[in-house]
Amino acid sequence: MTIERFRQLWTHRYFKYSHILKAHLLAYQAWIYFKKKKAKFAPGQELIAIVRTEHFGDIVAAEPISRYVRSLHPNAFIVWFVKPSYHELIDFNPSIDETFGEFCVTQRRILFEKNVFDKVYPLQFSNNNHCAKCQVFLDNPIADRKGINVHTYFNFGNLLEVFAQTADLINSRTPFPADDQPRLYLQDQHRQKADSLHLPENFIVIHCQSNYAPKDWPAARWDQLVQWLSENYSYHIVEIGLKSNLTTKESSYRNLCGQLSILETAEVIRRADFFIGLDSGPSHLANAGGTTGIILMGSLGAFPSYNPYSGSYGRQENAFFVRQEGKMCSELSCEFVKEKVANALETSALTKGE
């Protein structure tokens, strides 16, 4: 072994085991914190945990579960476990008493082994629940028993129905038993940020990159779509997301990528006439915000055709799915997408009586 390789190995081990040690310490701190909190509860009051830590579209899709769990445990103290970067999606939810910013799955595993929580609702299945630094996967026996995993989950319904099943809230392949429309809890600060942007009166929000390449549509075709929209419609085009990969110079186009928080983005989408995007987090914000969506979708792994949404998008009441059976999103031609977008804009205008 060379000196350089030796150094790399022990640097890796140092950071790995330092991370694991920190996870253990934070777990014990959290256990003490919740023990003290629980000691002040009224007799019979429960401490309930809901676990959906990522991704933010999944957290939005799972929001109806917070209200359903509250209906099952009206007097409980309910804590939602989430990655810190997504805490704002939970912070303002009136059905949740506390947002717990999770350090990693090891911390959560140790905390739950202390049995301080009276009930845990895990909205995750085993092989999408991972800490890369600990190199640990956290199992969900409920999901394992039902056969729900990353290769099968869309065989069990939309995301809301899948998550409800992984928590044993409903039986397999059973519709969600309560209001299934996701909600957002936007605050004045989010509205004020949107006000400060001086958005045009009529605009379309676009989102062009997901967190998973097989769901994406090529940037060059997005550029063509923006040009076509600018030439044929009076709408301004506003792009949102983390980072733009477009090269368009259209005067009606505006790039807001990387400038907004999740809920600020949600408020911008809510104000738009239409959302055109991918099967990704912002499309779930559009669903929750009630903006008419035009969603570019394709086959995904073992799922040639699937519907991740509940609520109005799930019923396609104000959503148009742009897809071709068996084709990946990247395989959709620009002409095909333009045709479907034109039909959706026309149909929506007729519905609104414009």
User: What CATH number has the domain bearing residue 113?
Assistant: 3.40.50
For residue 2, name the pLDDT band (cuts at 50, 70, 90): confident
Q: Last residue of a domain, which of 113, 134, 166?
A: 166
pLDDT at residue 1, as a whole number? 63
Look at residue 10 and tell me whether its pLDDT is greater than 80.
Answer: no
Are the C-beta atoms of residues 208 and 241 closer than 8 Å to each other? yes
pLDDT at position 147 is 94
Q: What is the pLDDT of residue 8?
A: 62
Shared domain check, 213 and 151: no
Eight-state DSSP code of residue 42: P
Confidence of residue 137 (pLDDT cuts 50, 70, 90): confident
Buried-state track 197-221, b at ≥16 Cβ within 10 A, e below 16: bebbeebbbbbbbbeeeebbbeeeb
The answer as to whether 255 is a domain residue is: yes
Between 4-13, 157-166, 188-197, the lowest mean confidence (pLDDT) is in 4-13
- What band does 12 get if pLDDT is binned at 50, 70 and 90? low
Give the domain extent around 151: 10-166
Higher pLDDT, 353 or 109: 109
Overall average pLDDT of the 217-223 stretch: 98
Q: 5 in a domain, yes or no?
A: no
Quick check: is 3 in a domain?
no
Residue 39 counted as domain residue: yes
Render pLDDT for 308-331 as a digit per residue (tens, 0 to 9).
Answer: 999 999 999 999 999 998 899 999
For residue 325, the model assigns a pLDDT of: 86
162 shares a domain with 255: no
Co-location of 218 and 298 in the same domain: yes
pLDDT of residue 3: 67
Which residue in this structure is represented by tokens 């090269």?
247
Least confident of 5-14, 77-86, 108-117, 123-132: 5-14
Residues 123 and 42 in one domain: yes
Whose CA is closest to 257, among 268, 271, 273, 249?
268
Lowest model confidence (mean pLDDT) among 132-141, 174-183, 211-220? 132-141
pLDDT exceeding 70 applies to what percent of the chain?
A: 94
pLDDT for the residue 353: 59
What are the structure tokens assigned to 195, written together?
A: 């006000």
**For helices 334-352 and 219-232, what crossing angle results, to 10°?**
40
The pLDDT-based confidence of 354 (bands split at 50, 70, 90) is low
**Is 89's pLDDT higher than 60?**
yes
pLDDT above 70 (res 223)? yes
Report, as an integer, the average pLDDT of 96-110.
96
Whole-number percent of the chain with pLDDT over 90: 84
Are 64 and 31 contained in the same domain? yes
Strand order in the sheet with 119-122: 98-101, 77-82, 47-51, 119-122
- The pLDDT of residue 135 is 82
Q: Is 172 inside a domain boundary?
A: no
Chain segment 236-249, per-residue pLDDT in tens: 999 999 999 999 99
Structurally, how many domains does the chain consist of?
A: 2
Is 182 part of a structural domain of the chain? Answer: no
Report pLDDT for 13. 65
The answer to whether residue 88 scores a pLDDT higher than 60 is yes
**Residues 162 and 193 grouped into a single domain:** no
Q: Same domain for 26 and 143? A: yes
CB 59 within 8 Å of CB 92: no
User: Is the pLDDT reported for residue 121 higher than 80?
Assistant: yes
Is the pLDDT confidence value at 11 over 80? Answer: no
Q: Is residue 274 part of a domain?
A: yes
pTM (2 d.p.)? 0.95
- Bridge partners, residue 351, by sequence: none
| Shared domain check, 108 and 233 | no
Say whether both 150 and 217 belong to one domain.
Answer: no
- Is 177 part of any domain? no
In the chain, which ranges are continuous DSSP H helix? 3-39, 56-61, 63-72, 88-91, 105-113, 141-146, 159-166, 188-196, 219-232, 262-271, 281-289, 311-314, 334-352
Q: What is the mean pLDDT of residues 16-34?
A: 94
Average pLDDT, the chain: 94
Q: Phi-psi bin for 52: left (phi > 0), alpha (psi -120 to 50), beta?
A: beta
pLDDT at 244: 97
CA atoms within 13 A on the CB side of 19: 16
Query: Are the C-beta atoms of residues 322 and 294 closer than 8 Å to each other?
Result: yes
